[in-house]
Amino acid sequence: MPGSIVKTAISGVLIACTLIILTFSSAWAVEPDSSWPEVLEEAKGQTVYFNAWGGSDRINQYLQWASSRLEQDYGVTLQHVKVADISEIVGQLEAAKSVGRNGNGHVDLMWVNGENFATMKSSDLLWGAFADNLPNAGLVRQSPSITSDFSVPVEGLESPWGGAQLVFIVDSASTSNPPASAAELLEFVGNGGRFAYPAPPAFHGTTLVKQLLIELLADDAKASAALTLPVAQADFMSVTIPLWVYLDKLHPQLLGGGSSWPISGEMTLQLLDDAELDIAISFNPNEASAAVQNDQLPDTVRTYVFENGTIGNTHFVTIPWNASAKAGAMVAANFLLSPEAQARKADPEFWGDPTVLDMRALDEAQREIFDAIDLGKWALPMGEGDVLSEPHASWAAALERAWIERYGQ
């Protein structure tokens, strides 16, 4: 009898402890729609592993600043995990999902583009509609590129971080009349103009290929409409014939003759500075301002877009379904949307990436921070050039495969 009493008592204690642990765990496991005070409280002391591109010193320094501010104000440590291609991280998450590793993930926050977002959404790798719960979400401007990412509805599954548009940078001292269309670009290189673009799947190269395809199909309403749908629903070869005809003419006249390519958009800037190219490519309308201020380009450079506009989009951050520090990731995403962080990010002295905030939603003091930013004469003039919508996310991979098959070494 005494033994049974002891066993019963021990069992009671174990059950009670289990209930306490479960109650404690549930109290501290935030959901995408948890109250913000709960999120802030749980986030304290967490380390957020932010997987983001690490190929820019300015961006890396900006994230170091953001990390120090998050630690100081919220007790959250932001650890920048530098990656060359975020699609590799998406692949790792897909592998984890396939073997049932649904907790204690090593990726808490990710900087993603539309193609990777589409993959994560279709593969159920996203946590939930956390972005709608961020206090600073109310400051974000409403636009098609924010509600849909590469034609894929966002639905709160990622938080906007910055704007982008394909731009061209030239040295006005040597190139006074740069090409303003795909047709003029072909004529430009035919007359000795020096141009090159990164080979897909490098991001800037893929973007230029999409830009050319959009422009070449502008007079074909049916083919243009196909770009807004999943590529599987289109006759890919028929739609893309004008692109391959164009590139077959363009490539032999490029720097490198179609056999060697710049490795990145950043490399085209260096080649422009070295006077080996006449035109550089960027996906940041303010890139030239930052480069001039950092002595990476001469004062005579200018930024422009094609006369009928160029591709533009919004880049986002998101939280995987198995992140270990979801609360901390939400706090970090919210801070990256703050007027302070967005203004610093928009300043070419620090980065020069266009903001996603609606100036009308800010108070006077917050607007003054943005008004004080001097983009200089080197950036794309405000409001110049239409922003064209991205094709559906599935087109990027299909175009990359076809490009590599035709032109890859």
- Which residue, chain included where needed, has tokens 């200018």? 302
Query: Could you give all domains of the chain from N- to C-terminal order, each with its CATH number?
Result: 33-162+314-371 (3.40.190.10), 167-313+386-407 (3.40.190.10)
> CA nearest 134: which of 169, 104, 109, 100?
109
Q: Are 145 and 153 in contact (CB under 8 A)?
A: no
In what order do the strands lie in the sheet containing 279-282? 279-282, 167-171, 301-304
**Confidence (pTM):** 0.79
**Where are the strands (E) in 308-407, listed by range?**
310-318, 387-388
List beta partners, residue 51: 81, 110
116 Cβ neighbours under 8 A, 6+ residues apart: 86, 87, 90, 110
Q: Are 271 and 280 in contact (CB under 8 A)?
A: yes
* CA–CA gap between residue 60 and residue 350 (Å, rounded): 10
* CA–CA gap between residue 370 and residue 328 (Å, rounded): 27
- Which residue, chain included where needed, has tokens 């998450």? 93
Nearest-Å Rg of the Cα atoms of the chain is 24
Handedness of CA 185, 186, 190, 196 (dihedral sign): positive
Q: What is the pLDDT along the chain (409 residues), one digit of tens a residue?
A: 455 444 444 444 444 444 443 333 334 589 999 999 999 999 999 999 999 999 888 899 999 999 999 999 999 999 999 998 899 999 999 999 999 988 889 999 999 988 899 999 999 999 999 999 999 999 998 888 899 898 899 999 999 999 889 999 999 999 999 999 999 999 999 999 999 999 999 989 999 999 999 999 999 999 999 999 999 999 999 999 999 999 999 999 999 999 999 999 999 999 999 999 999 999 999 999 989 988 999 999 999 999 999 999 899 999 999 999 999 999 999 999 999 999 999 998 899 888 999 999 999 999 999 999 988 999 998 667 788 889 999 999 999 999 999 999 7
**Burial of residue 252 (number of CB atoms within 10 Å: 0-12, 13-18, 19+):** exposed
